Structure 1
Amino acid sequence: MIGKEKPVLAVLCGDDQAGDLTGSPAMQGIESTALVRYTGAAGLADALRDADVLFVYDFLSRAVPDAWHAANRLRWLHIASAGVDPVMFPAMRDSDVVLTNSRGVFDDSIAEYVLGVVLSFAKDLHGSLDLQRERRWQHRETERIAGREVLIVGTGPIGRAIARMLRAAGMRVAGAGRRARTGDPDFGTVHASAALAEHLPAYDYVVAVAPLTEQTKGLFDAAAFAAMKPSARFVNVGRGELVVTGDLIEALRSGAIAGAALDVFDTEPLPADSPLWTMPRVLISPHMSGDFLGWRDTLIELFADNFHRWRTGTPLRNVVDKQLGYVPSE
């Protein structure tokens, strides 16, 4: 127990998100046991003064570093996403504040998205839609996905869910992570990300789902795209900053790779003048690959469960290793 005094909880949310929280039975339960301060970015510093806990519900916000000076009593920060890069700055990393994330919420939904875009490429579904709009009856042959080789860069829970789903569809899957190994239950072989370029030529699909760290930022650059098969498709459901966007655009223009499905970008929303919007072999979605019906409620319920654990001294779920930048695998 943390004592009889009500703890102070600061909740960072956008103006259009407050209703998700105040209407949630899970948050209403917390409000009966804590002093809750809902705030946008502009009021975060004031909300953080004497706060014990910060719930970053607006997980795309970059407001936490600028308000951190006011966090004079903070003991725990929870972010409503699997990625923690928006709150992973030096002062946070070096502090005693415990960091948890929402690992596990989006795994299967993102895996379904990846299977969907793989099928869209293989079966030319976007081409069929274009022809339908033109009322053109044009017979084509399409590809099989069974037996195709896939490299999943990122071996955490989301990567594992993707591996299991693609393997079930008949694809041959391998992973890339910090440490090379064989005999992995989901990936079989895992290559070292540090040697990524030497393994890329073997794969028909490359899926980026690694967490954003100093080691993975810009991992997919001109050299990486040049190493891929000209027939390879690239899928990014991790973080936009994993990719050097200009290098990806040039790889698509030159035919170094055959296509890309992109759910995340280094600038979001994707600027209207980006060439990616109109490239013929590019599928774009607005950072929504994990967002299934009811996902907001699930995020709030996960936090509420962790808040109860924190109040009762039970070990928290999804504790992030702040030096690694993610929750270590068990």
Structure 2
Amino acid sequence: MAGAPPRIVVLTAPGEGLPQGMEALQDDADLRVAEDTASLEAALPGASVLCVTDFRTDALAEAWPAADSLEWIHATSAGVDALMIPAVRDSDIPVTNARGIFDRCIAEYVLGQIIAFCKDFAGNWQLQQAHEWRHRETEPVAGQRLLVVGSGAIGRRIARTCSAIGIECDGVGRRARGGDDDFGAIYAQADLLSLLPDYDFVVIAAPLTEATRGLFGAAEFKAMAEHARLINIGRGPIVQTDALVAALEDGAIDGAALDVFEHEPLPADHPLWDLPNVHLSAHMAGDFIGWKTALSEQFIDNFRRWQRGEALNNPVDKAQGFAASS
């Protein structure tokens, strides 16, 4: 007689229900949806797999004592900082992430923002609203110098996408290394301050770790060129928001495009909303039509690997806080 199917617990935001596409596992697993601490505590005993889609909850930390048989945790995001509670980080339970799903669309978002700044789309829109015809010159995109802070999969896709139209792209990683296929050069994060003055655009594509939290503050913005723009598609807490606002107000940098924030959603009365030359979006740079189904398909593929006892795709280095390089 066959044993009971493995239990998969899916931690979602309240009201979301089972992720689109996950129903394909209904005949192969005992699927349980949890959306708060109480429902997670009830579902975890006996569960083999935990799939987390809600990263703005403390439910995992609060319900963790109920996790008595977990063999694998999966995050439906590239960043896994919200999962790295001490109990998970110090356990031998493997963690995987959604590496590869969002790379292309995030790179398109970054390139779009660079073009929007160079061609002053915001200025065109304002003049259109005022019915004012005003001829102006704009910046060429080719030849702009871009520093990508974070040389992982997303950072590399950004470099490849932007390099294709003539943008000069360098990267920043934990340590310097040469002979790279995607970046002109990769510099060590320890050298960031000395690098910043040389670039027209600085993109944050790094994961949130103890080494990157608060990485961009007053000193970094002072080091950037006055004409430079910051683009953050990584994690909000990598940027010290008050320091960024001050830099924008004082003209230390020329602009910013922000998709992530220290506190989300961004409060309606926050000064960032009204600053000139600031482009804001609601943590959606990588979210394309069909992304939820793509995440489920990626998880299901890994679940089949887990069933067969094969190595899981996208293993996270829990000590470092991000997926290991391919």
Task: Name the TM tier (shorter chain).
Answer: over 0.9
Q: 1:205 aligns with which of 185, 201, 206?
A: 201
* Aligned-residue offset at 1:108: 0.4
Whether the aligned pair in 1 keeps the contact of 2:168 and 2:184 (CA below 8 Å) is no
Q: Describe the SS at the equivalent of 1:137.
A: coil
CA distance in 1, matches of 2:146, 2:15: 38
Any residues of structure 2 matched to 1:129-278 within 5 Å, and which?
129-278=125-274
Q: 2:313 aligns with which of 314, 317, 327?
A: 317
Map of 2:291 onto structure 1:
295
CA distance in 2, matches of 1:311, 1:169: 44
Aligned AA (2:181): P
CA distance in 2, matches of 1:15, 1:217: 28
* Aligned-residue offset at 1:61: 3.5
Whether the aligned pair in 2 keeps the contact of 1:113 and 1:289 (CA below 8 Å) is yes
Map of 2:8 onto structure 1:
9
Whether the aligned pair in 1 keeps the contact of 2:18 and 2:33 (CA below 8 Å) is no
Whether the aligned pair in 2 keeps the contact of 1:235 and 1:262 (CA below 8 Å) is yes
Map of 2:109 onto structure 1:
113
Q: 1:53 aligns with which of 49, 52, 68?
A: 49
Segments of structure 1 that go 5 or more residues without pairing to the other structure are: none
Q: Describe the SS at the equivalent of 1:181.
A: coil
Aligned AA (2:233): V
Aligned AA (1:28): E
Return closer, same or farther for 1:312/1:19 CA change in 2, 3 Å cut-off.
Answer: closer
Map of 2:96 onto structure 1:
100
Map of 1:36 onto structure 2:
31
Aligned AA (1:241): P
CA distance in 2, matches of 1:301, 1:16: 21
Whether the aligned pair in 1 keeps the contact of 2:95 and 2:315 (CA below 8 Å) is yes
Q: Describe the SS at the equivalent of 1:194.
A: helix
Q: Describe the SS at the equivalent of 1:152.
A: strand
CA distance in 1, matches of 2:181, 2:59: 39
Q: Describe the SS at the equivalent of 2:179.
A: strand
Q: Are 1:128 and 2:124 matched, yes or no?
A: yes
* Aligned-residue offset at 1:39: 1.5
Whether the aligned pair in 1 keeps the contact of 2:10 and 2:18 (CA below 8 Å) is no
CA distance in 2, matches of 1:93, 1:124: 45
Whether the aligned pair in 1 keeps the contact of 2:9 and 2:50 (CA below 8 Å) is yes
Whether the aligned pair in 2 keeps the contact of 1:306 and 1:317 (CA below 8 Å) is yes
| 310-319 or 204-213, which deviates more | 310-319
Q: How many residues align?
A: 324
Whether the aligned pair in 2 keeps the contact of 1:182 and 1:190 (CA below 8 Å) is yes
Map of 2:75 onto structure 1:
79
Whether the aligned pair in 2 keeps the contact of 1:59 and 1:80 (CA below 8 Å) is no
Deviations 1:103-128, CA, capped at 9 Å, x for gaps: 00000000000000000000000110
* Aligned-residue offset at 1:270: 0.3
Segments of structure 2 that go 5 or more residues without pairing to the other structure are: none
* Aligned-residue offset at 1:19: 5.5
Aligned AA (1:100): T
CA distance in 1, matches of 2:138, 2:244: 25
Aligned AA (1:307): F
Q: Describe the SS at the equivalent of 2:206.
A: coil
CA distance in 1, matches of 2:36, 2:164: 43
| TM-score, structure 2 normalization | 0.97
* Aligned-residue offset at 1:4: 3.5
Whether the aligned pair in 1 keeps the contact of 2:46 and 2:68 (CA below 8 Å) is yes
Q: Describe the SS at the equivalent of 2:257.
A: strand
Deviations 1:137-177, CA, capped at 9 Å, x for gaps: 11111001111110000001100000001101111110000
CA distance in 1, matches of 2:100, 2:138: 34
Cα RMSD of the aligned pairs, angstroms, is 1.2
Q: Describe the SS at the equivalent of 1:72.
A: coil
| 258-267 or 312-321, which deviates more | 312-321
| TM-score, structure 1 normalization | 0.96
